[in-house]
Chains A and B, each alone.
Chain A
Amino acid sequence: MSSSTAPLLKQPGREWPGYSLPVEEPLRLDSGIDLGPFTIAYQTYGTLNPEHSNAILICHALTGDQYVADPHPITGHAGWWTTLVGPGGVLDTERYFLICANVLGGCMGTTGPKDIDPATGEPWALSFPVITIRDMVRAQKLLIEHLGIEQLFSVIGGSMGGMQVLQWASSYPEAVYTAVPIAASARHSAQNIAFHEVGRQAIMADPDWCGGRYLSLGRNPSRGLAVARMAAHITYLSEAALHRKFGRNLQDRNAVTYGFDADFQVESYLRHQGSTFVDRFDANSYLYITRAMDYFDLAAEHGGSLPAAFAGPQPRFCAISFTSDWLFPTSESRSLVHALNAVAANVSFVEIETDKGHDAFLLQEPELFATLRGFLTGCAEHRGITRFWS
């Protein structure tokens, strides 16, 4: 990064690789509680241009983190949007300065329930304040200001990341040039709240959860968290994708065993998803972040009117949905688009045909890549953002 106005603290001694911003001033949360001091952990890619006009904030989803295009420090897996990031990529690091911060309440370096409460010297656990999508965005705004960026070229995110995108556009429209909510919604549906509740109950039913105090007691509700992940993972896929990948195929056997072992490949796959998830995610973080999504209702913040949430000069929007996504279906994106139409915002809306379900935004989806590239490039030209070495 070339700018001298944006001091970036590389802290090699920290638990996780990357940057972190310590915030001393308490942050007033939606719950009315002041949180602070706290830390925001983040990654950057590319270089901020002298005009500070080429920054893109990437907002991660529920179980994502700031390692967009780095190997994950725990699992070693490639970053969740590695396919998009790089020189000449859709998120071109020779054109844009990419920022991704771990959300407030997360467990990858940004302050969350597994961190130590300075008041007690113990992990916060359930004494951590309940946070909201708006609180996450408030924290991100502090980071952006710290980096010396007045206006982001774009805020991009899928699923919960898309909720943050919408919150940015609503709370700080002047600080956002383009907004790209992918597979998102302006409110969490009753069905989605219901799925989250199943996940939370699975965690809380695990005897190792211990009322949330498992870290102090040296335990880990990994079975509960794994079940939560398994249930949620089903909602990220589609029936067609499950059928295509697994069908009724058996796992390493020729016949059913008349027992409760993982006879079917789909069972084995889900168990694997559950067991690997618990290695990298904190159970209480899962409770807090799912709660933040449940509370998200942009219209409710504005007297029940979604168009009212987008008052004033709005960024250029590009909303994207997927045909087989039943968790954040196209109808949710369409309602959003109608609200944006009502305020005559400049909005593009693309529904992409795929059988990959909600997870499509994380997968190799050429139509998604082409759409994003076209939209961003068009807007970058409009904004006068050029490549560094073209």
Chain B
Amino acid sequence: MSRGATLRLAMTAAQQTKVVASSPDELRRDLRLIADMIEPGGRVLDIGCGDGALLAYLAREKGVDARGMELSQSGVNACVRHGLSVIQGDADRDLEAFPVGAFDVAVLSQTLQATREPRHVLETLIRIGKRAIVSFPNFGFWRIRLSLLWRGRMPVSELLNNPWYDTPNIHLCTIRDFVALCDEIGVHIERSLTLDRHGRPFALNPRGGLANLLAEQAVFVLSGTTKQTER
């Protein structure tokens, strides 16, 4: 894979304000993986939808009732200008109003680490979506560990490319941390996908140490357990 493609992968949610992708090929690779996990025809909410690339793709290719939420004004305006249903808002504050099971899938791509209360956001996702798809950068990735160990500085990687004093990523976690949180709040992990530093998926048990070491990012498909849906 070219370096250009890797860099596209490296964009964080806060930076995704390009023009809406016009063909499937232009969809960022991690978004394409998410799109492939979504059944046609359902209702999907993409939280932190950026420029709406995933929404546009889902609406066009899968006939999905695609809706989005985005914090940046430029992102929201770009989406609405392109005929997408997007509201200006953030995951911490503006998800509460949605009723239980309002969406077939709630997508939170590369955004969880930028929320103020990731645990609450995760619980809310499972409440408003019959399923949730969550992707995040893995802070347990070997390069990040090495960076901290050898350089003694806060890691700045392609995926986490902001200095510590100027980053939206305030709640970074490892894959193991994430799995532990899912267990703690009773979220059922239906499926997981680990991606290497080139954005290529490889199948490793998300509970294992190897996945936590080798994956630069991970994508989880989650659903509520009995404990969740009773709340």
User: Which residues does A use to contact B, with CB under 8 Å?
Assistant: 316, 318, 334, 337-339, 341-344, 346-353, 367, 370-371, 373-375, 377-379, 381-382
B80:A341 contact, CB within 8 angstroms? no
Q: Closest CB of chain B to A350's CB: distance in Å? A: 5
In angstroms, how far is the closest chain B Cβ from the Cβ of A316?
Answer: 7
Of A316, A339, A343, A374, the contact of B82 (CB 8 Å cutoff): A374
Instruction: Say whether, besides A339-B97, A342-B98, A342-B99, A347 and B77 are in contact (CB < 8 Å).
Output: no
Q: A339-B97, A341-B98 are in contact. Are A350 and B77 (CB under 8 A)?
A: yes
Would you call B35 an interface residue if the criterion is a C-beta within 8 Å of the partner chain's C-beta atoms? no
Question: In the assembly, what is the distance between CA of A321 and CA of B88, in Å?
Answer: 11
Q: A344-B99, A371-B77 are in contact. Are A378 and B86 (CB under 8 A)?
A: no
Q: Does B87 contact A (CB under 8 A)?
A: yes
Residues of A within 8 A of B80 (CB): 318, 348, 350, 371, 374-375
Asked if A381 and B73 make an inter-chain contact with CB atoms under 8 angstroms apart, the answer reads no
A374 contact from B43, B67, B81, B88, Cβ within 8 A: B81
Contact B83 A379 (CB under 8 A): yes
Q: Which residues of A contact B77 (CB under 8 A)?
A: 350, 352, 367, 370-371
B102 touches A348 (CB 8 A): no
Which of B67, B86, B88, B99 counts the most A-chain CB atoms under 10 A from its CB? Answer: B88
Contact of A378 among B43, B84, B98 (CB under 8 A): B84
**Which residues of B line the A interface, CB within 8 A?**
43, 65, 67, 73, 76-77, 79-89, 94, 96-99, 102
Decide: A378 near B83, CB < 8 A? Known: A346-B67, A350-B76.
yes
CA distance A342 to B102 in the complex (A): 9
A377 & B83 in contact (Cβ 8 Å cutoff): yes
* A368 nearest in chain B by CB position: B77
Residues of A within 8 Å of B79, CB to CB, are 348
Task: State in angstroms the CA–CA spacing of A349 and B89 once bound together.
Answer: 9
* Contact of B76 with A316 in the complex, beta carbons under 8 Å: no
With a cutoff of 8 Å between Cβ atoms, the chain A residues found around residue B67 in the complex are 346
Give the dominant DSSP class at B's interface: mixed
Contacts of A353 in B (CB 8 A): 73
A351 vs B84: C-alpha distance in the bound complex, in angstroms?
15
| 21 A-B contacts (beta carbon < 8 Å) | A334-B89, A339-B97, A341-B87, A344-B43, A344-B98, A346-B85, A348-B79, A348-B80, A348-B87, A349-B76, A349-B87, A349-B88, A349-B89, A350-B88, A351-B88, A353-B73, A370-B77, A370-B81, A371-B80, A371-B81, A374-B81
The interface residues of chain A lying within 8 Å CB-to-CB of B84 are 348, 378
Which A-B residue pairs are the 5 nearest by beta carbons? A378-B83, A374-B81, A338-B97, A349-B87, A341-B97
B130 CB → nearest A CB, Å: 13
Chain B residues contacting A350 (CB-CB under 8 Å) are 73, 76-77, 80, 88
| A377 proximity list for chain B (CB < 8 A) | 83
C-alpha gap A347/B77 in the complex (Å): 13
Q: A372–B89 Cα gap in the complex (Å)?
A: 19
Complex alpha-carbon distance, A331 and B83, angstroms: 24
Complex alpha-carbon distance, A351 and B89, angstroms: 10
Residues of A within 8 A of B43 (CB): 344
CA distance A367 to B99 in the complex (A): 31
Question: What chain B residues lie within 8 Å of A316 (beta carbons)?
Answer: 85
- Shortest beta-carbon distance, B60 to chain A, in Å? 12
CB contacts (< 8 Å) of B102 on chain A: these are 341, 344
- Taking a contact as CB atoms under 8 Å apart, the answer to whether B97 and A373 are in contact is no
Interface centre among A338, A348, A381, A382 (most CB of B within 10 A): A348
Known A318-B80, A353-B73, A379-B83; 10 more pairs at CB < 8 Å? A337-B94, A338-B94, A338-B96, A341-B94, A342-B98, A342-B99, A344-B98, A348-B84, A351-B73, A375-B83
Q: Given A371-B77, A375-B80, answer yes or no on A348-B94 (Cβ-Cβ < 8 Å).
A: no
In the bound complex, residues from chain B placing their C-beta under 8 Å from that of A342 are 97-99
